[in-house]
Structure 1
Amino acid sequence: MVIMDDDAILTFVMSYLPEKWDKTTEYTRSWNLIPLSTQSVDYQIVESYFYGAHISLIQRVQNPFQFGRYMIRREMTQTTYEDIVFHVVHRDDLETALKFNCDYRRYQRRHEGLYEDHKHPKFYHSFKDLINVNNHSMSDIRVLVLKILTNEPKTQCDYYIEYVVTF
Structure 2
Amino acid sequence: MSIFDRLNQSSLNRSFEKLIKDEQEKLYKIAFSYVKNEQDALDIVQEAIIKGYQSFHKLDDKAYFSTWMVRILINTSIDFLSKKKDVIKLDPDWLKSGHQQEQFSIMAMDIDMVFKKLKTDQKTLLLLRFYYGYSIPEIAKILDTPEGTIKSRLHRTLQLVKEKLGTGGKHYGEATK
- Establish whether TM, by shorter chain, passes 0.5: no
Tell me which protein shows more strand as a share of its residues: 1
Query: Max radius of gyration: which structure?
Result: 2
Higher RCO (CA 8 Å, separation ≥ 6 residues): 1
